[in-house]
Structure 1
Amino acid sequence: MIEIIAAMARWSQLTANLILFGSCVFLAVIWQQKSILETPWMMRLEKIFPWLAGVIIAGLTGILATTTGDATGDVANAWNPAVWMEIVQQTQIGHIWAARMLLAIVLFCAVVKMQSSIRTRGHYVLWAMLAALPLIAGTLMSHSSADEMSFAAIAPYAIHILLAGIWFGALPAFLLILLNLRKELGITATQTAVDYLKKFSALALPVMVLLMFTGVVVTDRLVDEKYYALVSSPYGWLLNIKLAILAVILVIAYQARNRWLPLLERGENGPGSEGRAHMRQWVRIEFVLALVLVLFATILANTLPAKHAMIENWPYPFRFSIDATWDEPDVQDKVWSGLVLFALALGTVWLGIRLHWSSVVKILVPGVLGISSLALALPPLAVEAFPETYKKPTVPIDAISIVAGAHLFAENCVNCHGPQGKGTKPVADPDLRDPTDLLTQQHTAKYTVGNVFHRLSYGIPETEMPGYADKLSEEERWDLINFLHAMSRGFDARLLGSMIVPEMPSVASPVFNYAASDGSSGNLKDFRLQKNVLMVLFAWPQAKDRFFQLAASYDRIRDLNTEILAVPIHSVTGEQLQQITAIAPFPIVTEGWQEIKDTYWWYRRVRVVPDLSGKGMFPQHMEFLTDRFGYLRARWVAQFEGFGWQNVGALTLQLTQLNQEGEIMPPPGEHAH
């Protein structure tokens, strides 16, 4: 029940605010002289202004009440003003609400005060500005501001809301003008009404274009490339309904502007009477649809955005992926041909309007071309999908999970896929496919982690790949997937060297927990947005000379905003640890080292030594440079890459370059994707 009350409070507040703002903009646009104040429709419109301002205040009160009930988890608190005040005083959302209420009260007072004075265009401009402020303040409580309270995040949504108000708020004035023509007949009255409508119609076109553009910008931020959620989540379906309603409204607006308004302009009889009747009928429908549209927009604003949606059960047997299909034969030709057909369909829409085709032809020709373009372009982009296709991993990808997955791989997968995942065992049955190369073939475009989870759980038809749903727990299957992810990313890391590629992070550094000899402990993520990390995997005493080098340069390295973590690749005795710490002023990892070295072993390969046969080699000394955003940017494998960072100056040069870079990509997520 409280959810319904909350939705109605938000809807009534937003609707009243939009109408008041848009009506004032409309009046400011059409203002000609003071005689307009004496027109019946104008007086009727102004009479509702104080009521609209009052509804804004009442709606905000309802919003505070229902928000209090939700925030405290006790519905009874929704009707307790004392708890309301606690929310207002102690929370950010309460502070924003207080600002909105203050602005709404100022608006109410201004509307009531100025109604008793002789109004000019300036009064309506002032009212519009005052009505805009609560709308703008409301964007501070929107999805757009939830992730980032910044001008860049909020401005597109604020502009979108104001543009919606300019269009939607003018509809009541439109209706009142048209209804007034029933009583006030005559060429002069009709022509005056037409002049008003044409003035605003000229403004409405760019407003609608900008409204759709800002809507795309706002939606793109809330979808964040998870476009599949638009057809599989509550947010997506609500948005689709909203867009469908908007499409109908645009058709009505087009007819009103290009067909019925010209008829109305012809006079009060004949075509003019027909135009007047159609305008009244369809603007009524447009206004009702606009009210419904605002309702869906209100619900949408309080629905989990698509980018955060959890798609546990993908309802379709396919999905579209450009990355997975673009290089397949004939795909590009078909897609480009489809786009040409679609452009042709749009061209026929314009041509039909220009040449005055019949209504049937106007719809039929572009419709056939549009459907044909989709039928040609979309099927080549489709790939197989399963209910788990967009399932999110429940196990974070870290060293512990990767090592656990490696053990599971050794127990269950090595016989077919080989110790390094190359899939070296051929299948005797010619009707069955050979085991997949999990190391060097890219699967992330064609197969999401959810797809891999499905295949791992239920097997792959026409192969010897069995399902493991009965043998491995869900957590174990995610561990195995995390390992496969790290294994293939490790192969990608072969392209790294001792010199960073500026502004091009690509491989995430596997995170890990550790405890060190100096008493420090933590996670690799603790250094994000703060320091670079040079991780040294070493064997003792072979690394003694290198440790002397790093110790001598440690202050310089720290001045370059970089910490060194030294990780042994073999167990060290207490005596050896004393020898190491006597030389090294940097932390020596004493707990978690096994998981770290086993994980980063998969990132050992270099371009000239791919190391794909057998169980692989284990270099005795490797150094990995992770930037402060969590990406592996350079690596030195002493056994394969010669001099490299043995000259510490070469290392500090890379650190200097890293420190000159800003954030290029957000830090890696906690889960494989």
Structure 2
Amino acid sequence: MNGLLYASLLLHVAACSLLTGASFLLVLAGRPKDEAAGRWERMALSASKWLALVALGAGLIWFALRAATFTGRPETALDPSAIFAAAIDTWAGKVWLIRQGLLAFAAAWLFLAGQPASRADWIASRWLLLTLSAAALVLMSLSSHAAAIERQLLVHWADILHLMSAGLWIGALPFLAALLFISSRDQETLQPFSRRALVRFSRVATLLIFALVGTGILTACHLVGDVPELVGTTHGRLLIAKVAVLVPALLIAARVRDMLAGPGSTPLSRRIALHVTVEGALVLGILGFAIAMMLSVPGKHGSPTWPFPIRYVPDPGAFPFWRTLTPQQNAIALAACGLFALGLLVSLWRRPRVLLAGVAASVAAVLAVLSWNGSTVQANPASYARSPVSYDVRTLDRGRESWQQHCPACSIDLARLPLSATVGDLFWLTGEGDKELGVPSLAAKLDEETRWSVAQYLRASATAATVTAGGGTQIRPGLIPAPDFDIVLGPLQLGTLSDYRRGRPVLLVLYSLPQSRERIEQLAKRHAQLAVYNVEIVAVPRHSSGNPIAELATASPALFPIVTEANGAIVRAYDLFAAAAGHSEFLIDPRGYIRAIWPNDEWRNADDEIEALAQQFLDEAPPDEADEHQTH
């Protein structure tokens, strides 16, 4: 069914793009003035009729197959009532209905409208066709991957512009080649109508290509993610293939511009037509890759398989300036760099030595910066894989129990595990084993989910061992992710720690009575002052009791949650990092990383540090929710 889904969607989008491109070129070329131009216009209109019908039919087949895929029942594709219900009850179905209506309107107009009698009628009819076909195409963005990104209006508009630019450029090229071939039957050189259409399209296509590249980079930054997702997921590799085909298409387009602008004799019509035909074939290949990307899982939501034996690890002490930028600002910066590179490619393609020297210098500069701020370490296919189990206190409990049960004699020195080791590296380690570290292969004893839990536990333990050895209260950013847990206050479920801290730091307090009573009293009084810095407090008693809230009974009202369930799992998880049996406090930043730890009586000097760190968090980039703790 996946093959049928791909074929129907490809046929549907290709027909919509060609219909949009044909109507766009009809408007751009203007009213025909000679016999060859008239033949081409009649051919374009006749082809548009069939393209509208193909788009309607393929769209119906595609939505029927999509409904069957969603329900998991193949027979749904042949059930009109089920298809109608999917169209009425889902957002994607409503968008599909609107688009099909626009295509039906365009098809009816193409078959029923007669030849325009005046110039005004001609202009109105061509613009009507362009509006209907372009609207049917760009409305696909309302149910695309980019539409699912919340609170990113720029990405949504970029996706709309990307679809529009692609449809106008890709769809117009075959009809432009047909115009050039038809005009070349009568004479070798370009006729005035053909030359005017080619020159106009060439100018507009330059803008379309820049818009296509810029918006493509913007959406890719939010959908693909980082380098591991680019080279290690199907979605990312399809994007690489798409760019690889785009480059020769751009070079051919630049060559056509040079042929038009060259001095001397008028260029040969058939020669230019061949160039445009090859360019059109390449961009149709790009369309095929784009459709495959639409049906694949976005790289940010996939689990990358790293294809190289080494990987790059930034210097733990380095804090590059882009870490202070929001994901949207980073995407805009990358888009600007991409457009600059595109400009160099188009302008320097006739000077390959200069172009290659520029590329080599750019690559050398990037490698020099990377080597200055980091190093390479050994990698494996699972290095950047995403754990299917969540990083929470229950996962660490399960991982600890499984590790102690199935490897009781393991004498692994957790401090020897490098900080650069990801949870994917440790998952690979538990499957393959390592004699030097004293880790046996557990692949035959544990299923994958349990091995991921063990890997999460080993990663937390190794990080905790390193931090304990280093000492100090403050911890560098991005080192220790805070294990998640449910915040339950009596009968109330307040969500999870990750929900509670979203966009703000959290001071987690593990207390025991009566030793912690003085500090809890102090925090109850300072709660309002800490709220000025957007700091929230969550308290967890180390020892469960029947009613911890009543047991606490502070003189000042404690206006922060006191967790009453799963205390033992929370305490065991966070004691990995504090190594304290009494009172301990953890400051968790908005990204979900522990940034400071105050064990035992060190809380007496904590308040000034808490306020200073909270102010520092305000200057850092806000968290990217979709990218949080990808390697943990």
Q: Per the shorter chain, which TM-score range?
A: 0.7 to 0.9
**Which residue number in structure 2 is paired with residue 63 of structure 1?**
62
Over 3 Å counting, the alpha-carbon distance change for 1:668 and 1:527 in structure 2 is farther
1:622 counterpart = 2:590? no
SS in 1 for 2:539: strand
- Larger mean CA deviation between 87-96 and 239-248 belongs to 239-248
**Which residue number in structure 2 is paired with residue 194 of structure 1?**
195
- Larger mean CA deviation between 252-261 and 5-14 belongs to 252-261
TM-fit CA distance, 1:241: 3.3
C-alpha separation between the residues in 2 aligned to 1:238 and 1:564? 45
C-alpha separation between the residues in 2 aligned to 1:480 and 1:280? 62
SS in 2 for 1:169: helix
Q: Which structure 2 residues correspond to residues 65-80 of structure 1 after superposition, within 5 A? A: 65-80=64-79
1:305 counterpart = 2:307? no
The letter of the residue matching 1:205 is T
Would you say the 8 A contact 2:21–2:171 is kept in 1? Answer: yes
TM-score for the superposition, normalised by structure 1: 0.73
Per-residue CA deviations over 1:640-661 (Å, capped at 9, x if unaligned) read 243544x9xx989998998999
Would you say the 8 A contact 1:517–1:587 is kept in 2? Answer: no
C-alpha separation between the residues in 2 aligned to 1:661 and 1:349? 37
TM-fit CA distance, 1:261: 8.0
User: 1:323 pairs with 281, 290, 314, which one?
Assistant: 314
Q: Which structure 2 residues correspond to residues 265-664 of structure 1 after superposition, within 5 A? A: 266=265, 275-311=268-304, 314-316=306-308, 318-321=309-312, 323=314, 353=350, 383-405=377-399, 408=403, 415=411, 417=413, 421-422=414-415, 436=416, 438=417, 442-443=419-420, 447-460=421-434, 463=436, 465-469=438-442, 473=446, 474=448, 477-487=451-461, 490=464, 508-513=481-486, 523-529=496-502, 533-550=506-523, 565-570=538-543, 579-581=551-553, 588-604=562-578, 618=580, 620-626=582-588, 630-632=592-594, 636-637=598-599, 639-645=601-607, 663-664=622-623
TM-score for the superposition, normalised by structure 2: 0.78
Structure exhibiting the larger radius of gyration computed from Cα positions: 1
Would you say the 8 A contact 2:393–2:483 is kept in 1? Answer: yes
C-alpha separation between the residues in 2 aligned to 1:576 and 1:97? 55
The letter of the residue matching 2:20 is F
TM-fit CA distance, 1:197: 1.5
The letter of the residue matching 1:102 is G
* Aligned positions, number: 594
The letter of the residue matching 2:294 is A
- Larger mean CA deviation between 451-460 and 659-668 belongs to 659-668
TM-fit CA distance, 1:132: 1.4
C-alpha separation between the residues in 2 aligned to 1:62 and 1:44? 27
TM-fit CA distance, 1:486: 2.7
SS in 1 for 2:571: helix
C-alpha separation between the residues in 2 aligned to 1:165 and 1:376? 36
Would you say the 8 A contact 2:224–2:300 is kept in 1? Answer: yes
Over 3 Å counting, the alpha-carbon distance change for 1:75 and 1:183 in structure 2 is same
User: 1:145 pairs with 139, 142, 147, which one?
Assistant: 147
SS in 1 for 2:386: coil
The letter of the residue matching 2:12 is Q
Per-residue CA deviations over 1:408-451 (Å, capped at 9, x if unaligned) read 4797588552xxx44xxxxxxxxxxxxx2x4xx632xxx33222
Would you say the 8 A contact 1:395–1:671 is kept in 2? Answer: no
User: 1:162 pairs with 157, 161, 164, which one?
Assistant: 164
C-alpha separation between the residues in 2 aligned to 1:409 and 1:292? 54
SS in 1 for 2:206: helix
Over 3 Å counting, the alpha-carbon distance change for 1:594 and 1:253 in structure 2 is same
Listed as ranges, the gaps of 5+ residues in structure 1 are: 328-342, 355-361, 423-435, 605-615
TM-fit CA distance, 1:235: 2.6
**Which residue number in structure 2 is paired with residue 359 of structure 1?**
none
Over 3 Å counting, the alpha-carbon distance change for 1:602 and 1:52 in structure 2 is same
C-alpha separation between the residues in 2 aligned to 1:103 and 1:575? 64
Would you say the 8 A contact 1:140–1:149 is kept in 2? Answer: no
C-alpha separation between the residues in 2 aligned to 1:561 and 1:347? 46
Over 3 Å counting, the alpha-carbon distance change for 1:172 and 1:34 in structure 2 is same
Root mean square deviation of aligned Cα: 4.6
**Which residue number in structure 2 is paired with residue 205 of structure 1?**
206
**Which residue number in structure 2 is paired with residue 612 of structure 1?**
none
The letter of the residue matching 1:179 is F
C-alpha separation between the residues in 2 aligned to 1:371 and 1:660? 36
C-alpha separation between the residues in 1 aligned to 2:424 and 2:485? 24
C-alpha separation between the residues in 1 aligned to 2:524 and 2:64? 62
Over 3 Å counting, the alpha-carbon distance change for 1:288 and 1:558 in structure 2 is closer
Would you say the 8 A contact 1:539–1:569 is kept in 2? Answer: yes
**Which residue number in structure 2 is paired with residue 250 of structure 1?**
250
**Which residue number in structure 1 is paired with residue 625 of structure 2?**
666
Would you say the 8 A contact 2:422–2:459 is kept in 1? Answer: no
Would you say the 8 A contact 2:348–2:355 is kept in 1? Answer: no
% identical equivalent positions: 24
